[in-house]
Amino acid sequence: MQIRFQNSPKEVKGMTTAELRENFLVQSLMQADHLELVYSHYDRVIVGGVKPVNTAVPLKVEEELKANYFLERRELGIINVGGDGTVVADGVSYELSKLDCLYLGKGTQEVSFSSKNAASPADFFLMSTPAHAAYPNTLMTKEAAAPVAMGETATANKRTIYKYIHLDGIKSCQLVMGLTVLEEGSVWNSVPPHTHTRRMEVYFYFDLPAQHRVFHLMGEPQETRHLVMANHEAVISAPWSVHCGPGTTNYGFIWAMAGENQVFSDMDPVAIAEMK
């Protein structure tokens, strides 16, 4: 498990492209029959990915957690962006089709991931946060997430938002999680741009063709930087950082947040004309 420490706005202003990517970009999350994890000191989240192809992959406890099992003091959100898959949690099987979400609460001891078909394996994105209480393990399909259409074709941000783990959805300690799918012809995400100092955020991009990229904007609103990102890559967004950007085609992205406020609309908007 990689460990990423926090960076201040002052540090980030002086970073090279390579340094920005080293600190904030998370690559190679979906490797065949492998669990990849990154521990970030922003709200102590763990970002992960697992692509079970030929065998079931267990969620093993990491030495750095100093725990008897991974979710002894943590909760976990899982979203599948690949083929049909199965998550087994303490002997209970949960079937996840593409864009379905599973929440596993504090105290869940044994977890494993598998795919229904090796030719079309599941791609499970993981986000784990510290937890102070145990909430029930809960599966939610994309249809049950009450999709909401937003944006306009004229401004290239027509999209559908799916909310899974939030105040009015699956209950959690601090984790907030869902996804957005942009329609053909739309490329801009997270408009209007915003920050929220009460929580950090992770974006994970998916359904982005191999020849295309997303130009993810980050940094302070008047001191922006950018990361050029490919399919199945994630970015760690600090509470002081904006998180938005355009792609060279339409795509989808998972948004996952941790912090002291679970209200989805809790954000500090930034006028596009004020960004620099």
Stretch 14-24: mean pLDDT: 97
- Is a pLDDT exceeding 90 seen at residue 267? no
Residue 257: which pLDDT band, with cuts at 50, 70 and 90?
very high
Position 264 scores a pLDDT of 79
Q: Is the pLDDT of residue 184 over 90?
A: yes
Mean pLDDT of 150-176: 96
Q: How far apart are CA 69 and CA 47, in angstroms?
A: 17
Tell me the per-residue pLDDT of 98-143, one tens digit each, with 9 for 90 and over. Answer: 999 999 999 999 999 999 999 999 999 999 999 999 999 999 999 9
What is the CATH number for 70?
Answer: 2.60.120.10
Query: Residue 161: left (phi > 0), alpha (psi -120 to 50), or beta?
Result: beta
The answer to whether residue 266 scores a pLDDT higher than 90 is no
pLDDT of residue 261: 82
Q: Is the pTM of this model over 0.95?
A: yes
Domain that holds residue 22: 2-274
Which residues, including other chains, have CB under 8 Å from residue 210's CB and lie 6 or more apart? Answer: 230, 231
The CB-based long-range contact list for 95-100 (8 Å cut-off, 24+ gap) reads 95/139, 96/122, 96/124, 96/139, 97/141, 97/142, 98/142, 99/142, 99/162, 99/179, 100/139, 100/140, 100/141, 100/142
pLDDT, tens digit, 9 for 90 and up, residues 190-242: 988 999 989 999 999 999 999 999 999 999 999 999 999 999 999 999 999 99
**Number of compact structural domains in the chain:** 1
- Mean pLDDT of all residues in 65-83: 98
